[in-house]
Each structure stands twice: as structure tokens, then as C-alpha cells.
Amino acid sequence: MLQMSGIHHALSQLWQRLRHAVPAEIQESEENISRLGEADTMDWRTSCRPAPPFRLDACFEAPGYVPGWMLQNPAGTAPLVAPTPLADAFGNVLAKATMGQEALLAAHYRRILAAAPDWRQWRNAHRGCFDVDLVINIEGEHLLRLEMFNGAAAAADELLTQLADAQAPPNILYDNLDQGWALRMESTPEAVLTLEWNWEIPAAADSPRALRFPRKALAAQAGEALLRLRHVRATLIQELGTDLWNQPPPEPRRRRWAIWT
């Protein structure tokens, strides 16, 4: 036991020397990342406040321009198209707002396709798709957006399916860190907890938002949102003849034949 204690003491001293050798800005960066959101940091869970009235839905990207993944030069000037009246100021359309207006949204996507006649070629090259995110509108506060990135509709479907199951074991449902922003969502037997924070600034300057959503109420909304997502996406695919809300499947690799002599 004495021998092991001596080893632990030596390792502790070595760690302290190494830590002081790390530049201060790197130490600060590590603190910013780990103070909230890391699995070994539990404080934020107990600080969650009850969420005000909320509404969960899927959100379809419907921009007023041709996205870069449909163009030969993604960094070039994007052709503009007439916006859809269904979209908000940021070019997003809630699935609920689309119910009964599916043809109107499909017409908007047709305008985008018409403005980029070579879109099929460049879409495969850039492996692009229109975003489908999840949003939680919260009364009196800014909305909570869960970005799906490359997964788009498939990832949104998967997350809504998990949220709709109020009996599933507790789990980390969403964990995303981006420039100046991070979001984590976890489930407990009775609640779904969310944490937003800015990991790039000192702790004293940050204003993290930690919320507690009643699990059964959120699960009921997730089930309804899942049905709307699947209905709108299926209708758009039928109208346009292609799935623009998931990444295109990778091209099959050509088999190479070896001739042995």
C-alpha cells in the first residue's frame, strides 16, 4: 500500500508540473469545454428549470436561393428564387404549417430546381440535401433548434422516434458542439433535459440555458411531429420524384478484376 501511495504521489506531482506547462489560453479553452456538457460534469442537470409552454415540430429548409450543393461552384453567387409564403424570415417551414399546403411547398422546390438545371450532377458531387431540423418553440424565449446536419430527414425521424418513446431507458439523445454554441439533450425517467451554452467564452461571461421538459408531454408532441414529418416528406417526394431531404446514396464502387498469370 505504501508503494502504491508513493506512485500516486509521484504521478500527482508530474500532472501538476505538466498542467502548469500548458499555456493559459489552452487551459482556459479546456475549462470552457468541460465546465458544462462533458459526461463527468453533472451540475447542470440539477440546475434545469421547468420549460415554459412549448411546441415541438420538424422544420424544412426552403431558402429563397439555390443552395451551393446544387451548383458547380458552391462559393459562387447563388441564383435567387421567389420565397414561399410558408417560410419564416430565415427560410424555414414548419411541418405543421405545410399540412394542407404541400403543393405550395413543392412548387417552391420546383422553382429552385428550375434555377439550377444541372443540379443532379452537382448534388452527387457535393452530397447535399435540404436540411430538416427539429425546433422547439418556447413561449417568451428563443427557440431551441436541433440541427440534423448530414442526416437531415432520416436523422430527424430517428430523434423524434426516440423522443416519442416515453418508456425508453434514460439516454443522451443529442450532443452537438459548434462555433460559439453547444447543445445537449438527455432523458431521465420523468423528464428530458436540455442545455445550451457557449463553450468558446469564459464561464463568467456565459449565460447557459438549462431546461426541463416533462417527458410524457414532449413524447406526445414528438409522436405528432413524427407523423407530420413523414407525411410532408412522402408527399414532397411524390410531387418531385426524388428525395431532396436526405443525402444521396454513395455511388457503388466499381469492382476491379485481377488477372493472375
DSSP-derived letter for residue 114 is H
Single pTM value for the model: 0.80
Q: How far is it, in rounded angstroms, from Cα 233 to Cα 99?
A: 11
The least confident of 15-19, 157-161, 174-178 is 15-19
200 touches 141 (CB < 8 A): no
Q: Name the band, by pLDDT with cuts 50, 70 and 90, for residue 18.
A: very low
pLDDT at 202 over 60: yes
Cell of 41: 460534469
Q: How far is it, in rounded angstroms, from Cα 54 to Cα 219?
A: 12
Domain layout of the chain by residue ranges: 53-240
Render 204-227 in DSSP notation, one character per residue. Answer: GG---EEEEEEHHHHHHHHHHHHH
Mind listing the pLDDT tens digit for each residue in 165-193? 999 999 999 999 888 889 999 999 999 99
Q: Give the type of residue at 251.
A: E
Q: What does pLDDT average to over the chain? A: 84
- Mean pLDDT throughout 142-149? 93
Q: Reading across the β-sheet that carries 54-61, which strands appear in turn?
A: 92-94, 54-61, 132-138, 144-146
138 touches 193 (CB < 8 A): no
Alpha carbon 14 to chain centroid, angstroms: 40
